[in-house]
Structure 1
Amino acid sequence: MKCLLLAASALLFVAPLAFAGSLPFSSAKTAKGAVLADAKGMTLYIYDKDSKGLSNCYGDCAEDWPPFLAKAGAEPSGPYALVTRKDGQKQWAYNGMPLYFWEDDTARGQATGDGVAGVWHVVRSTTQASSSGGGSW
């Protein structure tokens, strides 16, 4: 009976950790406020020239703004979806909008791509949302 209780207790601690790691998202504190980030804390961006479920950033654009590609077996959940790129790779999206990194962000918490060319925006938390673009989460 004691072994059974220990095994059950171990499952209670392991299961939440496994679930928490299933989506590669976190938040990062930046000069722009709290923003959506990958699991390493790198800021994620959306592109005004995309539409829900469709990326329009390829070639030179994708070199400057690398898409946030999903690992094999990734599963969407809630507002986090997967879109298929032209080459068949899966890219993470938030509320249908494909997500990207900015090549000039080199450390956790940087958000230097917000507002670039007037079409790139961080995804801000609800309390940090502004009219200058970006979503809320």
Structure 2
Amino acid sequence: MNRKIPFLCALAPIAALVAGCAGYGSSYGTHAAAPAKTAGGVLAGANGMTLYVFDRDTAGSGKSVCNGPCAANWPPLAAATADAASGDWSVVTRDDGTRQWAYKGRPLYYWAKDTKPGDKTGDGVNGVWHAATP
């Protein structure tokens, strides 16, 4: 009788648990994947909604100048406290202390009047808002 088989069967659930946790590794506490994806040639949030950049933001400044009523119309792409910069992605701290994702140094926003994924109604608003491109 082979006593190794019951022992190996007992280890299987432990191995499955360890394998399931492997994805946490060194990325624990950071955003493991890009906070946006490309859809229709522009950047879109995880919800599929188009992301925008604002010409009045200075790329690389680490700030957003769209605050208060502006941010009500152009909600920022929020970053969690634990999210960290990686590659072209960085995080800026807003005037209210919340954090926002930026792509190539430019803070990213949604447009309140876009109603469904793929809408780009904010592109060109007031000549200063543009759909973000990869």
Q: Do the two structures share a fold, i.e. TM-score over 0.5? A: yes
What does residue 37 of structure 2 align with? Answer: 26
What does residue 127 of structure 1 align with? Answer: none
Aligned-partner SS, 1:15: coil
Residue segments in structure 1 that go unaligned for 5+ positions in a row: 125-136
- How far apart are the structure 2 equivalents of 1:50 and 1:96? 9
Query: Are the counterparts in 2 of residues 67 and 99 from structure 1 also a CA contact under 8 Å?
Result: yes
37, 43, 47: which one aligns with 2:44: 37
- How far apart are the structure 2 equivalents of 1:96 and 1:24? 14
Question: How many residues matched?
Answer: 119
- How far apart are the structure 2 equivalents of 1:15 and 1:87? 33
93, 96, 103: which one aligns with 2:105: 96
Query: Are the counterparts in 2 of residues 28 and 108 from structure 1 also a CA contact under 8 Å?
Result: no
1:113 aligns with 2:127: no
Residue segments in structure 2 that go unaligned for 5+ positions in a row: 1-7
What does residue 96 of structure 2 align with? Answer: 87
TM-score, normalised to structure 2's length? 0.74
Deviations 1:1-33 (A, max 9, x none): 7967xx48x839x639xx79543211222xxxx
Letter in 2 for 1:119: V
Aligned-partner SS, 2:23: helix
What does residue 58 of structure 1 align with? Answer: 67
- How far apart are the structure 2 equivalents of 1:104 and 1:112? 7
Letter in 2 for 1:118: G
Q: RMSD of the TM alignment (CA)? A: 2.7
- How far apart are the structure 2 equivalents of 1:65 and 1:77? 24
